Structure 1
Amino acid sequence: MKLLRFALPALLLCSAMAATPGRAATFRWANDGDVNAMDPATRQETVQLSFLANIYEPLVRRNRTLGLEPALATSWEHISPTVWRFHLRPGVKWQDGSPFTADDVIFTLKRILAKDSSMRAPMSVVKEARKIDDLTVDFETFLPDPIFLQEQTNLLIMSKAWCEAHNATEPVVIGKEDNYALHYAMGTGPYKLVSREPDRKTVVEANPLWWDKRQGNADRVEFNVISSAPTRVAALLSGEMDMIYSVPPQDMARIKASPDLKILETPELRTIYLGFNFTRDALKTSDIKGKNPWRDIRVRQAVALAIDEQAITSRVMLGLGHPTWEMWGQGVNGYNAALDVRPKPDPAKAKQLLAEAGYPDGFKVTMDCPNDRYVMDEQICTAIVSMLARIGIKVDLLAQTKTKFFTKINGPNYDTDFFLLGWTPATYDAHNVLYTLLGTRNGKRGEVNDGGYSNPSLDDLIEKIGVETDQSKRDGLINQSIEILQKDLPTIPLHQQVIVWATKKNVSVAQPADDFFPFRFIQVK
């Protein structure tokens, strides 16, 4: 597939063309950060997976209310406790006109299970995929998996022939290696990639070969990266953008006051949290030599007690957050409101704990933080720096774009001492959080366990939760895991944020709680 490349004009793009329902429209929107890569196997990150889900498709997808529905598979059967049979959709074409078959599904699974794929964790339960015929595939799991269908929603299928033709049969690590699939894309989905200018603009157009019917009328979608919040808001107010995300909380009232604009708000499934590096005998950025302060539970407790999360959500986020004490929030299976009781901030007790741990004067450490990924992320980190300073922990804040941030702290580098991160469980189930963020890293489990936390008791629970089909027993196991996490504090949960988008009033979009943005629902009137 040949991609056209255009230079982005110095001035912001002109306003979107007017359109009526059923008539083709161009839709222009802006975010503060870019998609990391065009390869869906390179990173478990919402912005990337959301964008690529408009080009590539899974066997099972989410509808606009997050229910499961057929996509590249028309139906499925659970033919034994460990075998799922998927009947593939006939007549589906890749965007180059070639047929979609079972070979593509099996190839994609093998590619995702490769050592350098950051998407292998959700599929690590699969022992083998077998081709029954061109339109039938069996997935055999090692053990029964109660959320197997939910895990399929981010398995974005790639063309075996296309990857082979462009020497992209294996994913590569972003920032360390390069291949064709990082920059180009060719899927079966509702849109096809037209041009790609990293950190500037990416353009897709409607795929005329798509098997389904779009519910919207956006034939062309232009995704612009505008890192400056004032510039992003100005582009919306002037009509040069049809939508922006994220929306600075301090500008919401101004946008609401505009007769041509509207604010969209939805509680998000994502939890924002702090993480610590447990793997280093001594922290690289600390002035404490020969010791890792984070390994002492009293130090982690001190951090938790130093943070006034209510102040963060009310003052920094202007109400666009809900304080939490669990690593998954409301709307995620396994959330327990009775256990979601955050301790009150107590700086005096925090200082006492630091002294008992042997750090009466505190210590220095660097904190990694994105500045273009979450609601007020850098401002939140700045507030935390101030709160920790009051108990003697002197933090040097390293805030950077999410592209640099994720490359630094995620695998295979895991180069961080202390960090802020957010996570939306793709399956909307607690097991995804436990398995991916908190389980001991073993090549499959713990892929985004950036701090390297390891607890055999928790690992045992994670394995049991992964195969328990009795919902009552499963909920009990999840509650046990919550209690372990709240006692051991490998991470400090902060809040669930609110998704805030701003659009023109003549625009209708779906805004699901998983923060995905499906272009097929965009309607420009």
Structure 2
Amino acid sequence: YAVKWALERTIRLNGPEGGVFLIADVIKEIEAVDELTVRITLNYPDATFLIRMTDNVIPALIYAGAPENEFTQGRYVGTGPYRIVEYVPDERVVLEAVPTYFGPAPKTKRIVWVIYANEAALRAAVEAGDVDIAYRTFNPVDIVDLQKNPNLQVVRGPSVSIRYLLFNVTQPPVDNALVRQAIAYAVDREAICERVFSGLNAPIYTMVPEGLPPAGASIPVFPKRDLAKARELLRQAGYSEAKPLEVNLWYTPTHYGTTEADVAAVLKQAIEETGLVKVTIQSLEWAAYVQRMSQGGFDMFLLGWYPDYLEASNYLAPWTTESPESLGTFFNRHPRYPVYKELMTKALTTLDEAERAKIYQEIQRMSAEDVPWIPLWANYQQAYLVAQKNVKGIVLDLTMEPHLDLLYKE
């Protein structure tokens, strides 16, 4: 009953904080068969549904009579190993272990989660020993320096955060596939990772990170740097030293951190090394960036992705079937878009994981031909955790969050 009530409430609320968009369209009916069984009938087959359902459930027995805005008005509820005993916005969250938690008891009874205003303040706090753990905030220089500190341990987990270049395939001059292919050969991922991120991030050649289900879904399909090939394609597209390609490169200066301007500069240099391209760098702050992107106002632009759920489709479907216009590519107007949509629809209705992986592979191969996007790097910078030497139980997984219930100090 609690599961049925919680799901129906989530769909009914349809609020910005929840993940209702992940389940609302697909669910037709929810039935509580008995106290331990829920039957969910779908409007259409969806092989990723169970993965997207792995979220928390709130207790209907306690909250069925609560107002719909109960959890946006200062009261919090969960089913995990900790409960919130204090929350000061933009300052701290205090957690205490739940003695009646159904799983193994947390290693640490009380955790104070402190929010720092900036990277410098957090670094100073961890170096001074004022905090035991710090993560997901440091710039590359900080991480490299902290790795040299004998009093600290620096741990890197896996990353499902990626960065990439996108094209509006309806916008000249990047509406020409030869131009997009040439830029794919010209970009210098290694230079970005080394010069901007001190080697902390890693080049990627597909949009799908390794390690996501289904097994084998991720394959490298985009080419490594080849300036000669880039020049050849640009000449085929009609460009020359006398008539260079002129293209804008857009970025947003703060949303992805202070390194974004450096990324744009390295990309500009790499592409212009063809001798046949002139890149103009432009920027907008995030709110204006998103608005212009959805209106089709960019030709070539930088963006990043962190998944809504951990399955390969979440790195392909947004651009192929779900929201290509709001994400700025307008790929739904591309001649081969119906093929992508058919393949993605087939994948999402294929329960056999090996077969589904093959379909995802085909979509990736096609994307390397049509180049609506260029994957650039895996954002490992966000997967680093810095801790005092006496902190144990550090486990980082694809969620890119530490397991708080396993942490303890010796």
TM range (shorter): 0.7 to 0.9
For the pair 1:369 / 2:252, whether they are aligned, the reply is yes
- 1:113-512 equivalences under 5 Å are 119-121=20-22, 124-132=25-33, 136-153=37-54, 155-157=55-57, 165=66, 168=69, 181=72, 185-189=76-80, 190-192=82-84, 194-197=86-89, 200-206=90-96, 208=98, 211-212=101-102, 213-228=104-119, 230-245=120-135, 246-278=137-169, 292-333=172-213, 339-347=219-227, 349-350=229-230, 353-354=233-234, 357=237, 360-365=243-248, 367-369=250-252, 371=254, 373=256, 376-390=259-273, 391-398=277-284, 404=286, 408-409=289-290, 417=298, 418-425=300-307, 427-435=309-317, 437-441=318-322, 449-454=327-332, 455-498=337-380, 499-508=383-392, 509-512=394-397
Q: Is the contact made by 1:408 and 1:416 (CA closer than 8 Å) also made in structure 2?
A: no
Residues 302-343 of structure 1, C-alpha deviations (whole Å, 9 max, x = no match):
322221112222332222233222111221235759951542
TM-superposed CA distance for 1:192, in Å, is 1.8
Q: How has the CA–CA distance of structure 1 residues 451 and 335 changed in structure 2, closer, same or farther, with 3 Å as cutoff?
A: farther
Q: Is the contact made by 1:510 and 1:518 (CA closer than 8 Å) also made in structure 2?
A: yes
Distance in 2 of aligned mates of 1:410 and 1:119:
23
Amino acid aligned to 1:317: F
Amino acid aligned to 2:164: Y
Question: SS where residue 293 of structure 1 aligns?
Answer: coil
For the pair 1:524 / 2:405, whether they are aligned, the reply is no
Amino acid aligned to 1:394: T
Higher helix fraction: Structure 1 or Structure 2? 2
Amino acid aligned to 2:366: I
Distance in 1 of aligned mates of 2:150 and 2:72:
43
Q: How has the CA–CA distance of structure 1 residues 304 and 122 changed in structure 2, closer, same or farther, with 3 Å as cutoff?
A: farther
Distance in 1 of aligned mates of 2:138 and 2:23:
31
Amino acid aligned to 1:363: E
Distance in 2 of aligned mates of 1:393 and 1:277:
16
TM-superposed CA distance for 1:186, in Å, is 3.4
Q: Is the contact made by 1:129 and 1:137 (CA closer than 8 Å) also made in structure 2?
A: yes
Question: SS where residue 396 of structure 2 aligns?
Answer: coil
Distance in 2 of aligned mates of 1:236 and 1:225:
11
Q: How has the CA–CA distance of structure 1 residues 146 and 185 changed in structure 2, closer, same or farther, with 3 Å as cutoff?
A: same
Residues 55-91 of structure 1, C-alpha deviations (whole Å, 9 max, x = no match):
xxxxxxxxxxxxxxxxxxxxxxxxxxxxxxxxx7xxx
Query: Across the two proteins, how many residue pairs are aligned to each other?
Result: 392
Amino acid aligned to 2:266: A
Q: How has the CA–CA distance of structure 1 residues 101 and 344 changed in structure 2, closer, same or farther, with 3 Å as cutoff?
A: closer
TM-score by length of 1: 0.64
Amino acid aligned to 1:465: A
Amino acid aligned to 1:523: Y
Q: CA RMSD in A?
A: 3.8
TM-superposed CA distance for 1:138, in Å, is 1.9
The 10-residue stretch of structure 1 (409-418 or 249-258) with the greater mean CA deviation from structure 2: 409-418
Q: Is the contact made by 1:273 and 1:491 (CA closer than 8 Å) also made in structure 2?
A: yes
Question: SS where residue 184 of structure 2 aligns?
Answer: helix
Q: Is the contact made by 1:183 and 1:196 (CA closer than 8 Å) also made in structure 2?
A: no
Paired position in structure 2 for 1:105: 7
Distance in 2 of aligned mates of 1:342 and 1:446:
20
Q: Is the contact made by 2:160 and 2:306 (CA closer than 8 Å) also made in structure 1?
A: yes
TM-score by length of 2: 0.79
Amino acid aligned to 1:104: A
TM-superposed CA distance for 1:206, in Å, is 1.9
Q: How has the CA–CA distance of structure 1 residues 234 and 338 changed in structure 2, closer, same or farther, with 3 Å as cutoff?
A: closer
Distance in 2 of aligned mates of 1:350 and 1:142:
46
Distance in 2 of aligned mates of 1:450 and 1:506:
47
Residues 479-505 of structure 1, C-alpha deviations (whole Å, 9 max, x = no match):
211111111111111122332111111
Which ranges in structure 1 are unaligned for 5 or more consecutive residues? 1-87, 89-99, 170-179, 282-290
The 10-residue stretch of structure 1 (315-324 or 185-194) with the greater mean CA deviation from structure 2: 185-194
Question: SS where residue 72 of structure 2 aligns?
Answer: helix
Amino acid aligned to 2:250: M
